[in-house]
């Protein structure tokens, strides 16, 4: 484990269990957000590719 992380964990050990629970929840939420964002980006990229293919195939029209 890197020294900076060891220092942070050492500081976390000084917190109350309620505070530690709150920090753990924040970390878990952040990790889940990263996974969710990565999945969303893959889906959005696929949709964008499909839209470009349709546009290049003349299946779209400009509505200005």
Is this structure's pTM higher than 0.85? no
**Domain-wise residue ranges, the chain:** 1-38
pLDDT value of position 50: 95
Residue 47 Cα distances to 33, 37, 43, 51, 60, angstroms:
21, 15, 6, 6, 14
Q: Is it the case that residue 4 has pLDDT exceeding 90?
A: yes
pLDDT value of position 62: 84
Residue 1 Cα distances to 27, 34, 64, angstroms:
17, 22, 57
What pLDDT band is residue 36 in, cutting at 50, 70 and 90? confident
């Amino acid at each position: 484990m890197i020294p900076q992380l060891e220092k942070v964990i050492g500081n976390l050990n000084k917190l109350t269990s309620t505070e530690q629970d709150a920090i753990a929840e924040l970390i878990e939420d952040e990790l889940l957000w990263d996974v969710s964002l990565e999945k969303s980006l893959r889906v959005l990229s696929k949709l964008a590719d499909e839209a470009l293919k349709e546009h290049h195939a003349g299946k779209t029209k400009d509505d200005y």
